[in-house]
Amino acid sequence: AQTVTQSQPEMSVQEAETVTLSCTYDTSENNYYLFWYKQPPSRQMILVIRQEAYKQQNATENRFSVNFQKAAKSFSLKISDSQLGDTAMYFCAFQGAQKLVFGQGTRLTINP
């Protein structure tokens, strides 16, 4: 079974700083997708960024980028120029041939 591990329960940075959230996963599959979801206090899960495992190029969405290391089964999220609105729970998720599996989440706080 696939597992997703987020080793940072909480992180806190100052506004405008850069922050990196870690994620590792375990799978024997070769084709899969990886996601980072954001969940603010409103509880709405919002997709931040996705990465197809067959693509070597790291995905980027504006201030959000990933460092995908397939051999190491690592998928970190970098948030540049962090904003107060980035404060939320962030979940890393893996989807292979079966269901979407989430990590335990990292609570990120952006301080003014």
Partner 1 sequence: EAGVVQSPRYKIIEKKQPVAFWCNPISGHNTLYWYLQNLGQGPELLIRYENEEAVDDSQLPKDRFSAERLKGVDSTLKIQPAELGDSAVYLCASSPEQGEGYNEQFFGPGTRLTVL
| Strand-pair category, 10-14 with 74-79 | unpaired
Q: Of 45 and 80, which CB lies nearer to partner 1 in the complex structure? A: 45
Q: Of 81 and 99, which CB lies nearer to partner 1 in the complex structure? A: 99
Burial class (CB in 10 A: 0-12, 13-18, 19+), 57: exposed
Q: Of 18 and 104, which CB lies nearer to partner 1 in the complex structure? A: 104
Q: How far is the CB of 29 from partner 1 (least distance, A)?
A: 11
Give the span between the Cα atoms of 30 and 53, in whole angstroms: 7
Note the residues at the interface with partner 1 (CB under 8 A).
4, 31-33, 35, 37, 42-47, 50, 52, 91, 93, 95-100, 102-105
Q: How far is the CB of 16 from partner 1 (least distance, A)?
A: 28
Q: Of 56 and 98, which CB lies nearer to partner 1 in the complex structure? A: 98
Token duo for residue 9: 């329960």
DSSP secondary structure string for all residues of 30-60: SS-EEEEEEE-TT---EEEEEEETT--SPPE
Give the span between the Cα atoms of 62 and 49, in whole angstroms: 10
Q: How far is the CB of 46 from partner 1 (least distance, A)?
A: 8
Q: How far is the CB of 44 from partner 1 (least distance, A)?
A: 5
